[in-house]
Amino acid sequence: MPHTRPISVHTSTYDTVDNDTLLNVRRIRLALERSPHAKTLPGAFLDRLARLGRVERHTEGELIHAAWQPVHKLWLVLSGGLRVTQMDDHGHALTIAVLGEGSYFGSGSLVHDGEVEKSEAHAIGDTHLAVFGLAQLEREFATDKEMTQHRMRLLHRRFSALTELYRDALTVPLPQRLARRLASQALAAGRGPEIELRGSQADLSQMLGASRSRVNTELRRLELAGIVRVGYRKIVVRDLELLRAAAGADVMPL
């Protein structure tokens, strides 16, 4: 079992708060502890951050954020997934990313509260999100240099991850490109085997710029190797280490 820091919840702050709220705080805290995007922060910092979040529950296809609208929140995926899309020249939605457990949406807000986000995000199946209001975060951490530095690190890592995906599209063959996409999603969960990745094979084909038949063929190869299990609108990673070996070096969590 991986070691996790104890979760500190100050009950005096919650004398009039119900048990569901306390459970949600603990759930957010555990997700932050596991996520590669937050787990390096000090425990006390994560405690403060968890108390500022709230849990939202969304159903299949529900709009989380509309394209070309200002962003005033940051969303952390607790379970389920987000389909991130942009419109092509013909007005069709194109899937550019699927964000799963441990990943976040709303990177524009890390630059400035109210930054316009041209991508759109919808829930994939039943999805639970931890939502952080940027105005509240800025009030809580107004004089905290560590938060400012962490925001810059998050932006740098997200930019580096996207740069890797662009490089992969230009130079990496499809079998490895598929493994790298799946690994980048799985690594964000920050935990062991049986990691469920939401999304359809159509999503994968759009993200990889390949036909569904070719993507399906490569998925079957991974399944036969015992690396993944393919289900309805989901892929379960059975062996993360084998997937990372197929993906190659320097895969960054998305």
Query: pTM of the full predicted structure?
Result: 0.89
Res 20: pLDDT: 83
- Hey, what's the torsion of the CAs at 109, 110, 115, 117, to 10 degrees? -70
The pLDDT assigned to 19 comes to: 79
| Confidence tier at 66 by pLDDT (50, 70, 90) | very high
Q: Does residue 156 lie within any of the structural domains?
A: no
Q: Pick the residue with more confidence: 18 or 187?
A: 187
Tell me how far apart the terminal alpha carbons of the chain are, to the nearest angstrom.
24
Please tell me whether residue 22 adopts helix, strand or coil conformation. helix
Instruction: Give the C-alpha separation, 32 to 39, whole Å.
Output: 6
Average pLDDT, the chain: 91
Residue 82 lies in a domain: yes
Judge whether 153 lies within some domain: no
Residue 4 has pLDDT above 60, yes or no: no
What DSSP state is assigned to residue 109?
Answer: H
| Whether the predicted pLDDT of 3 surpasses 60 | no
Q: What is the CATH number of the domain that holds 131?
A: 2.60.120.10
In a shared domain, residues 138 and 98: yes
By residue range, what is the domain housing residue 241?
A: 163-247
Residue 154 lies in a domain: no
What's the total number of domains in the chain? 2
User: What was the pLDDT predicted at 112?
Assistant: 85
Q: What is the dihedral of CA 230, 231, 232, 237, to 10 degrees?
A: -70
Can you read off the two tokens belonging to residue 240? 């993360």
Residue 4 domain-assigned? no
pLDDT (0 to 100) of residue 221: 98
Counting Cα atoms < 13 Å in the Cβ hemisphere of 214 gives 13
Q: Which residue has the higher pLDDT, 1 or 186?
A: 186
pLDDT at 179: 98
18 and 140 both lie in a single domain: yes
The answer on 44 and 16 residing in a single domain is yes
Task: Tell whether 101 is covered by a domain.
Answer: yes
Report the percent of the chain where pLDDT is more than 90: 81
**pLDDT of 193 higher than 80:** no
Residue 137 pLDDT > 70: yes
Q: Are residues 134 and 169 in the same domain?
A: no
* CB 208 within 8 Å of CB 180: no
Domain co-membership, 214 together with 91: no
Residue where one domain finishes, among candidates 88, 118, 146: 146
On whether both 176 and 137 belong to a single domain, the answer is no
Domain assignment present for 192: yes
Residue 16 has pLDDT above 70, yes or no: no
pLDDT, average across residues 153-181: 95
With a cut of 60, say whether residue 9 has pLDDT above it. no
Sign of the alpha-carbon dihedral angle for 217, 187, 166, 70 = positive
For residue 190, is pLDDT > 80? yes
212 and 113 in one domain? no
Same domain, 58 and 132: yes
- CATH at 220: 1.10.10.10
- What's the pLDDT score for residue 88? 84
DSSP letters spanning 130-147: EEEEHHHHHHHTTT-HHH
Q: Tell me how long the chain is.
A: 254
Q: What is the pLDDT of residues 24-55, one digit of tens each?
A: 999 999 999 999 999 999 999 999 999 999 99
Residue with tokens 């690190």: 153
Average pLDDT for 133-153: 91
Looking at the fold, whether 95 and 201 belong to one and the same domain comes out as no
Report whether pLDDT(7) > 50. Answer: no
pLDDT of residue 17: 54
Min mean pLDDT across 95-109, 122-136, 140-154 is at: 140-154
Domain boundary among 146, 172, 193: 146
pLDDT band at 90 (very low <50, low <70, confident <90, very high): confident
**5 in a structural domain:** no
Indicate whether 142 and 196 sit together in one domain.
no
Q: Is residue 139 located within the same domain as residue 102? A: yes
Whether residue 15 has pLDDT greater than 70: no
Same domain, 169 and 140: no
